[in-house]
Amino acid sequence: MKPLKIGIVVESTQLSLRQAIESAARMGARGIQVDATGDLAPDALGATGRREFRNLLRSFDLELAALNVPVRRGLDVAADLQPRLERVRKTMQLAFDLGARRVVVACPKLPEDAASPRAQLMRESLLALGGYGDRVGSFVALEIGYDPAEKVKEYLAGFGVGSLKVTYDPANFLLHGHDPLANLMPLEGLVSHVHARDARSAGVSRGLQEVPLGAGDIDWMALTATLQVLEFDGFLTVEREQGEHKLADVTNGVKFLKRFALPV
């Protein structure tokens, strides 16, 4: 088994891209996930810019773990769908050029009625992206959590393309009422990227909430061991969406995960 690779989500640090890269190197992370926006938007980064960005990461001994495409509407919403799909496709090409080959896109809750307009839109969207990914050599890593793993696996099996994968966020599963550990093994062969994010179940005096890595209810020793059994070769990128001390939480999260990075 190979050691697990640990990275960070740039936006969680609340630093500029350059500062986040420097911080990732100081933390001992091996890679970064970053939004494909602003200076890193596909249309803004030409051949020279792409080469310079690769060189910048190399100078800090880092890799690009994945590119994220933040969207306000899902792949199942008709409004502005074609420009949104084109943006994802361009990001897939950018990810390939930058060596990541993984593009994170939010996955809406899977449709119950396969004949509904929403279901048809989502299927057409994923067929378009999956076919494009097979041609250019990049993966769409759908960020899941609304639905149990078996349902996701069955759904994706119906597309017949190899580039539709998933981003596994155990906190997402816990926050939506699913067991984060039990839902990992059924996704064997589908997990391309992992968001290392923690959460705590509801209690008498509190609701479900995201917490710093290691402070929640997720069994990270068991989860990382399962990833190694699955021969996961992507990154665990430490992410923090809430909290007042995000940079410190990310730094401590990298340190925490390093305890489980080596094969058992």
Domains annotated on the chain, with CATH: 5-258 (3.20.20.150)
CA distance 121 to 79: 11
The whole model's pTM is what? 0.95
Q: Which two tokens stand for residue 26?
A: 């100081």
Q: Which two tokens stand for residue 172?
A: 């997402």
The pLDDT assigned to 207 comes to 66
The pLDDT assigned to 175 comes to 92
Contact 256, 25 (CB under 8 A): no
Q: What is the pLDDT of residues 131-183, one digit of tens each?
A: 999 999 999 999 999 999 999 999 999 998 999 999 999 999 999 999 999 99
CA dihedral 183, 188, 191, 194 (to 10 degrees): 50
The pLDDT assigned to 2 comes to 81
Q: What residue ranges of the chain have pLDDT lower than 50?
A: none
Q: Which two tokens stand for residue 208?
A: 């479900």
